[in-house]
């Protein structure tokens, strides 16, 4: 068996180094070897104290997430009983925390009697982000160390704790100034403990009922009930937060052994939940997403130090802010001085709002603003390494910009278009360097949304793709690579989803009914509320460019066209699918009347539509399109689609994205339902309810997951 532990003795100290790269995930093999090493040190009379540390830059990122849901997760020695055993050793056990101690990694450190960390280390219990709760004593030991209120705050948010705060709270005994001095500090602490014959575990006050930092003040009666009531709506659809609260409540009310047993029960329930399965799927999807055949560590990367953005509108300004936020200089180019001034003023206003909300200091705001330079002259961006065009969404206008960029920009510059639907190849074709052209589709607001669709044109060079993926990570985005097609991944799937929602209005549903079904599924917003927010005029313009391909469906988004003709553009005009008074949204009987009128003209029989039918038709069309995209090779893998819809369209992360959700419904069921609606919806059904060939092939071959075949 490979050695995952380095064991060495220095005088009276045993040093046990975790050596399971990259992050010392506490899988079964590491657990087994760690236990062996600790037993060896415990049995060796010459060893008087034990130091646990990570051999690389990380202490441990916790349990091995890939083991969850499989027997390996609880294979002996399981993490909870390993940690219980460590608490029984009668020699001082010191955790020397370098880099990170997350989840089971922090629980391991808390099972040690003493903890020292390097100054830059981060500690946390992020299990909730995986639909779990800490399951190896974290919910019981953290409240006993820092108080239940503080423990609840960190465990229910999953946010990391820095060393300074950790020391103030009582989680750390010592902080080493640098990573290099960590082991020496731990050794000095160990020798001091030996010298004063300190016990294996220090005698600390056990204070789970105390909301730190006010020792002596017991939690008020009803504390947990109030906490639940205050957060109920935020937790809608999720069970992990409830389990976290239950476990911490147990820490306050039960002796340690019973509290640990309760935590164990809750953890098992959480591990088996579809919510945790979905969130684990998303965790690995995020780590897979940048991996592409043909790109590897050997692919060269172009240096990107100077960035330029063309167009200082809302989108261009938001894109520029991303770079300034990451500490990169960026030049914003506009054609007219007043437009440039407006753009720069908007950027300042956005930053000022962040300062007002306490998310940024005034100093940070000024530093960021100082990185953004406005210009009216293409000559000032001639030496940019990356240029991102963010002008009006019209092919001819974008092509004109790219002709100019081709003339003005240095050889080797990456030329990117922020188009959301247009043909990147047609844009690249007007340049003499199509290999340097790529699509970078930011989502609005561009400085907030994490999704970035990276559109690979037919000629885009591998190093251009690799470089843009790297830059995307640098500015904190989740980059998903898409091939060229109408709408790329996200908007192409939005089209049939939205089309079906519109059709349902003609058949008898109301905007509120459709939106309620979708928000009950967990969508951040219903499709009609979303169109009202984005602008009915915007989707009208997209349809205008595609009338020919839509001509065979006379009812296609007819209601949306009618609203456009009435000047009801959505929130910006206070009227769209809904009526708006300020931020308040109201149903509008006029919209229903309009839907009735159009249905009458088209001969569509109106009827009562069930919520189930709304769910099925919208979701089926969304997912079917996703499967089709995979079959066409537009996207790399089905989990990439999940990331697009979670991060760009508000699909609930705890459902794992539309494709993961569809797999849960069952591929056979999807195929059967598509067939059902093709039958019952007559001519309309025959027109649109065509299963993707890949779906048919997957079902025929008995597959349960969406993959290329």
Question: In the complex with ligand 3H9, which residue's Cβ is closer, 20 or 417?
Answer: 20
**H or E element in which residue 115 lies:** strand 114-118
DSSP alpha helix (H) spans, 89-130: 104-111
Q: From CA 622, how far away is CA 624, in angstroms rounded?
A: 6
Burial of residue 657 (CB within 10 Å: 0-12, 13-18, 19+) is buried
Question: In the complex with ligand 3H9, which residue's Cβ is closer, 284 or 392?
Answer: 284
The footprint of ligand 3H9 (CB under 6 A) covers 22-23, 25, 61-66, 79, 100, 102-104, 107, 126-127, 130, 132, 134-136, 138, 287
In contact, 248 and 223? CB cutoff 8 Å: no
Question: In the complex with ligand 3H9, which residue's Cβ is closer, 53 or 91?
Answer: 53
**H or E element in which residue 601 lies:** helix 589-602
- Give the nearest distance from C-beta 102 to ligand 3H9 in angstroms: 4
Question: In the complex with ligand 3H9, which residue's Cβ is closer, 27 or 648?
Answer: 27
Residue 285's nearest CA partner among 65, 583, 456 is: 65
Burial of residue 663 (CB within 10 Å: 0-12, 13-18, 19+) is buried
Q: From CA 675, how far away is CA 598, in angstroms rounded?
A: 27
Residue 372's nearest CA partner among 307, 314, 313 is: 307
The residue with tokens 């003493």 is 114
- Give the nearest distance from C-beta 265 to ligand 3H9 in angstroms: 12
Question: In the complex with ligand 3H9, which residue's Cβ is closer, 106 or 190?
Answer: 106
- Give the nearest distance from C-beta 82 to ligand 3H9 in angstroms: 10
Q: Which residues of 554-564 are buried (b: 16+ CB within 10 A; e: fewer)?
A: ebbbbbbbbbb
Question: In the complex with ligand 3H9, which residue's Cβ is closer, 79 or 172?
Answer: 79
Long-range contacts: 111-115, Cβ < 8 Å, 24+? 111/83, 111/84, 111/86, 111/87, 111/136, 111/137, 111/141, 112/52, 112/86, 113/199, 113/200, 113/201, 113/202, 114/173, 114/174, 114/189, 114/193, 114/202, 115/171, 115/172, 115/173, 115/174
Question: In the complex with ligand 3H9, which residue's Cβ is closer, 100 or 390?
Answer: 100
- Give the nearest distance from C-beta 387 to ligand 3H9 in angstroms: 28
Question: In the complex with ligand 3H9, which residue's Cβ is closer, 22 or 216?
Answer: 22
Read off the DSSP letter of residue 584: E
CA 584 to chain centre: 29
Read off the DSSP letter of residue 434: G
Residue nearest to ligand 3H9 (CB): 103
In contact, 455 and 488? CB cutoff 8 Å: yes
Six token digits for residue 667: 């591929």
Catalytic residue numbers, as ranges: 107, 127
- Give the nearest distance from C-beta 624 to ligand 3H9 in angstroms: 30
DSSP secondary structure, 567-580, as one string = T--BGGGTBSSSEE
Residue 311's nearest CA partner among 369, 391, 387 is: 391
- Give the nearest distance from C-beta 80 to ligand 3H9 in angstroms: 6
Half-sphere exposure of 597 (CA within 13 A, CB side): 10
- Give the nearest distance from C-beta 139 to ligand 3H9 in angstroms: 9
- Distance (Å) of CA 168 to CA 38, 107, 138, 219, 341: 29, 19, 18, 20, 47
- Distance (Å) of CA 653 to CA 154, 241, 508: 20, 15, 30
Q: From CA 670, how far away is CA 666, in angstroms rounded?
A: 6
Instruction: State the greatest distance between any 2 C-alpha atoms of the chain, in Å, as a whole number.
Output: 93
Residue 409's nearest CA partner among 380, 438, 389 is: 380
């Amino acid at each position: 068996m490979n050695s995952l532990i380095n064991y060495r003795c220095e005088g009276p100290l045993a040093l046990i180094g975790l050596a399971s790269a990259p992050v010392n995930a506490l899988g079964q093999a590491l657990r087994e070897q760690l236990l062996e090493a600790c037993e060896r040190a415990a049995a060796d009379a010459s060893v008087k104290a034990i130091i646990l540390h990570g051999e690389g830059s990380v202490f441990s990122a916790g349990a091995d997430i890939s083991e969850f849901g499989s027997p390996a997760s609880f294979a002996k020695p399981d993490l909870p009983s390993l940690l219980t055993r460590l608490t029984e050793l009668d020699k001082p056990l010191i955790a020397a925390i370098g880099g990170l101690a997350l989840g089971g990694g922090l629980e391991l450190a808390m099972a040690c009697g003493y903890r020292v960390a390097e100054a830059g280390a981060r500690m946390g219990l992020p299990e909730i982000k995986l639909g779990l709760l800490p399951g190896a004593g974290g919910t019981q030991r953290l409240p006993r160390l820092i108080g239940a209120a503080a423990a609840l705050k960190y465990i229910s948010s999953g946010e990391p704790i820095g060393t300074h705060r950790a020391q103030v709270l009582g989680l750390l005994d010592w902080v080493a100034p640098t990573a290099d001095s960590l082991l020496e500090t731990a050794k000095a602490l160990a020798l001091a403990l030996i010298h004063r014959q300190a016990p294996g575990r220090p005698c600390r006050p056990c204070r789970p009922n105390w909301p730190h930092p006010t020792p002596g003040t017991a939690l008020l009666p009803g504390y947990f009930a109030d906490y639940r009531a205050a957060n109920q709506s935020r937790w809608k659809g999720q069970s992990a937060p409830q389990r976290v609260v239950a476990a911490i409540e147990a820490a306050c009310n039960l002796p340690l052994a019973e509290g640990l047993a309760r935590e164990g029960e809750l953890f098992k329930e959480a591990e088996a939940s579809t919510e945790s399965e979905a969130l684990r799927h998303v965790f690995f999807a995020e780590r897979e997403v940048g991996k592409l055949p043909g790109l590897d560590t050997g692919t060269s990367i172009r240096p990107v130090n100077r960035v330029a953005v063309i167009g200082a509108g809302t989108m261009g300004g938001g894109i520029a802010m991303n770079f300034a936020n990451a500490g990169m200089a960026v030049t914003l180019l506009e054609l007219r001085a007043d437009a440039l001034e407006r753009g720069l003023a908007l950027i300042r206003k956005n930053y000022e709002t962040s300062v007002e909300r306490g998310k940024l200091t005034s100093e940070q705001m000024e530093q960021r603003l100082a990185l953004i330079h406005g210009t009216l002259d293409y000559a000032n961006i001639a030496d940019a390494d990356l240029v991102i065009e963010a002008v009006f969404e019209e092919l001819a206008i974008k092509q004109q910009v790219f002709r100019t960029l081709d003339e003005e920009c240095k050889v080797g510059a990456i030329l990117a278009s922020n188009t959301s639907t247009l043909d990147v190849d047609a844009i690249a074709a007007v340049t003499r360097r199509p290999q340097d052209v790529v699509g970078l589709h930011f989502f609005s607001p561009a400085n907030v949304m994490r999704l970035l669709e990276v559109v690979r044109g037919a000629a885009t060079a591998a190093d251009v793709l690799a470089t843009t993926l790297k830059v995307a990570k640098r500015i904190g985005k989740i980059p998903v690579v898409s091939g060229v097609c109408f709408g790329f991944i996200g908007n192409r799937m939005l089209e049939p989803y939205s089309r079906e929602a519109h059709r349902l209005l003609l058949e008898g549903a109301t905007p509120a009914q459709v939106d309620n079904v979708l928000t009950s599924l967990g969508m951040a917003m219903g499709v009609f509320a979303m169109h009202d927010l984005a602008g009915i005029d915007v989707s009208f313009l997209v349809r205008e460019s595609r009338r020919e391909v839509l001509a065979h469906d006379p009812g296609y988004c007819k209601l949306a066209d009618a609203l456009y003709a009435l000047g009801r553009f959505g929130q910006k005009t206070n009227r769209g699918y809904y009526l708006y008074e300020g931020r308040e949204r109201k149903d509008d009987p006029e919209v229903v009347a309009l839907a009735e009128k159009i249905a009458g003209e088209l001969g569509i029989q109106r009827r009562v539509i069930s919520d189930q039918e709304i769910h099925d038709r919208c979701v089926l069309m969304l997912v079917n399109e996703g499967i089709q995209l995979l079959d066409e090779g537009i996207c790399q893998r089905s989990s990439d689609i999940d990331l697009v819809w979670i991060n760009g369209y508000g699909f609930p992360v705890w459902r794992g994205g539309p494709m993961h959700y569809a797999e849960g419904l069952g591929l056979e069921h999807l195929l059967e339902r598509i067939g059902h609606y093709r039958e019952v919806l007559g001519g309309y059904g025959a027109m649109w309810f065509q299963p993707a060939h890949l779906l048919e092939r997957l079902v025929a071959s008995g597959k349960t997951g969406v993959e290329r075949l």
